[in-house]
Amino acid sequence: MFNLKKIKPSTYLMPQEAGMLVPGLVFGNEEIINDPSFEEPLKQVRNVAFLKGIQGHSIAMPDIHWGYGFPIGGVAAMDAETGVISPGGVGYDINCGVRLAVVKLPFAELNPAKKMELLKAIFRNVPSGVGQGSKDKQLSDSDYKSLIHLGAQWSIEQGYGLEVDLDHCESRGVIEGADLQAVSLEARKRGAKQLGSIGSGNHFVEIGAVQTIYLPEIAQAWGVNEGMTYVLIHSGSRGFGHQICQDTLNHFVKLGFAQGLPDKQLVAAPIQSDPGRTYFRAMASAANYAFNNRQQILHEVRQAFKQILKVPEEEIRLIYDVCHNIAKFETHAVNGVMKKLCVHRKGATRAFGAGSNELVPLYRTTGQPVIVPGDMGRASHLMVGLGNPLSWCSACHGAGRAKSRVQCLKYWRGRNPLLHMKEEGITVMAHSTQTIAEEMPDAYKNVDEVVQAVQDAGLAKMVARLKPELVVKG
């Protein structure tokens, strides 16, 4: 339908049609591109190209699938002066992201009993499930003001983590410009008890072994060795961010910002308008909440390792924390001229390359870690960004769904997904068997194929393959 034209390895151009302000750009190998499920999200790639101020291309990653307005796996950069900002281009779970830590302890040396104890301790320590949060902690307005201003630094000052963690977070764990006055009372209520919790759906804490090293020099620089234990955390801004997104969508539609767009879910306000600025301040607040959320989850995981395996907190080293639902102001070259852009990444990861001034010295030397969770049965990946200007220095964020949740539930009805995972060597704990059925490995594309396409397209390179064995789901 879209007559995609291959212009480079795993890189396809979508021709510019009437109403599109820029062409589309699609990353993926032939098998991914030709999958029938790719057709519907490609319509969203086309629709995003209608947004005012969009620069370069409307971009799709290999893990693309249908989302609200924007496809999940979409990237769009808007001129910071003349462009728009779209809540659908960030998503409901603002700053949903992943955090990877490693432990020197060889995973294979842990006996099964200790592994089970560790999994149970994490399941106790970290609240998970729909609407779940802490029974003991509740954020006051004073807490909110501090945490959205400081980002992850706030949790560290409260005793949740190490100062060095900040050097291993995207933007050092804070998005500037957050303002609690831009956030509704309902959003504050929803997030008040949810800090330090996973949530539901595809969010998780995963533990396993670093299975394969592809780039030894990069891995060595980062302190990642074959066989060592890893911890992968996937969560976002919980009900706090969800409510901020919904409040903004309602407000933008009421103001008439959806008029003239091919899909009202793309509703967007001028970045330099009062509504646009207010959304950015609220979005930054949710982003900083999410940085704190993952910081506190890591703290509780560290406590579990300390309690069960006697591993000191400082020996559970954070490699990196990355956002994959965010809009950020960045400077990029547009037709040879450096320009300030608002880069929307929805289901996409920042992938700055070596030499970027945005990175701390270690990663400025190597390039930025790019963390790609796959599914709980096969693998996840650690990559290094190459700073490709075609994608506004972006890469994929995961495997991408291959089946809807409804399809998954239908397939697994009458079967035992927990037992199936156990037979595959994966132990899963969750509050809901429905969540497990919705998140079985067959729900996702093969992450190995996705990251290979990303590498072939020159967006990022594979550093290590991670094999899960212990999983906490919502």
Residue owning tokens 């009437």: 18
Helix (H) or strand (E) run with residue 14 in it: strand 11-14
Strand bridging mode 269-270 / 5-8: unpaired
**Token couple for 153:** 């630094």
The span from the CA of 65 to the CA of 51, in Å, is: 20
Is residue 279 classed exposed, middle or buried when 0-12, 13-18 and 19+ CB atoms within 10 A define those classes? buried
Q: What is the DSSP letter of 169?
A: B
| Alpha-carbon distance values, 225 to 120, 214, 301, 388, 464 (Å) | 26, 11, 20, 27, 9
Residue owning tokens 């291993």: 168
- Annotated active-site positions, please? 397
φ, ψ (nearest 5 deg) of residue 334: -120, 110
Query: Interhelix angle for 274-309 vs 112-125, to 10°?
Result: 140
Residues 372, 398 contacting (CB under 8 angstroms)? yes
| Alpha-carbon distance values, 158 to 147, 153, 155, 292, 295 (Å) | 10, 9, 5, 11, 11
Long-range contacts of 401-404 (CB under 8 A, 24+ apart): 401/65, 401/72, 401/443, 401/444, 401/445, 402/37, 402/65, 402/442, 402/443, 402/444, 402/445, 403/442, 403/443
Query: Interhelix angle for 238-254 vs 274-309, to 10°?
Result: 170
Residues 235, 203 contacting (CB under 8 angstroms)? yes
Beta bridge partners of 149: none
